């Protein structure tokens, strides 16, 4: 007899909205979602506020998921690639069309790397640079960014779909 597939995530709430709130346990995920371009708030908000948001609530907390009336995603795996895969497919996003600042969620502006070098005060060995118009943080495509692209590619291939409950 075939084994029942392991449950990776559970979703409720009809059509997924185009913004996300992750609970305080998922800071890593919040930064990554912003970099791939998803509008993501990161929960210093209290649970009652999280329970009310109209954005997609992403949590690992079953009790919070059960209480929630709006759209919610419960992550039941430890595998970070599966988290990304579930969200990319659920929200139907094309990763990296526009990146957001991992620190403040503002859409990044691509800039000449010479401008970025002037801001950070050292040479940047990259062809692509971005500046956050809100907090002034500078980013460039280096080994970390390439590692991230590889992980996102893997997430797209994994094709994780969440079980829907209503």
Burial classification of residue 76, based on how many CB atoms lie within 10 Å of its CB (0-12 exposed, 13-18 middle, 19 or more buried): middle
Residues 9-48: x where in contact with Zn ion by CB under 5 A, - otherwise, as a string: ----------------------------------------
CB atoms within 10 A of CB 165: 12
Minimum distance, C-beta of residue 72 to Zn ion, in the bound complex (Å): 27
For the segment 104-123, give every residue that binds Zn ion (CB under 5 A).
104, 106
Residues 120-149: x where in contact with Zn ion by CB under 5 A, - otherwise, as a string: ------------x-xx-x------------
The answer to whether 102 and 119 are in contact (CB under 8 A) is no
Query: Which CB atom, from 40 or from 85, has the smaller least distance to Zn ion?
Result: 40
Total residues in contact with Zn ion, by rule CB under 5 A: 8
User: How many CA within 13 A on the CB side of residue 106?
Assistant: 15
As a whole number of angstroms, the distance between CA 102 and CA 160 comes to: 24
Minimum distance, C-beta of residue 105 to Zn ion, in the bound complex (Å): 7
Q: What would you report as the CA-atom Rg of the chain, rounded to the nearest whole angstrom? A: 17
Residues that bind Zn ion (CB under 5 A): 101, 103-104, 106, 132, 134-135, 137
């Amino acid at each position: 007899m075939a084994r029942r597939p392991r449950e990776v995530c559970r979703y409720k709430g009809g059509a997924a909205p185009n913004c996300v709130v992750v609970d305080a346990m998922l800071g890593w995920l919040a930064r990554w979602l912003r970099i791939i371009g998803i509008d993501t708030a990161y929960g210093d908000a209290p649970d009652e506020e999280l329970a009310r948001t109209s954005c997609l609530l992403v949590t690992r907390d079953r009790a919070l998921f059960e209480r929630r009336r709006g759209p919610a995603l419960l992550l039941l795996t430890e595998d970070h690639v599966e988290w990304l895969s579930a969200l990319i497919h659920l929200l139907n996003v094309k990763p990296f069309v526009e990146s957001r600042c991992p620190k403040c969620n503002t859409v990044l502006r691509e800039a000449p790397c010479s401008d970025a070098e002037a801001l950070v005060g050292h040479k940047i060995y990259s062809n692509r640079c971005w500046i956050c118009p809100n907090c002034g943080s500078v980013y460039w495509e280096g080994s970390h960014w390439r590692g991230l692209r590889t992980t996102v590619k893997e997430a797209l291939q994994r094709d994780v779909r969440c079980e829907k409950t209503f």
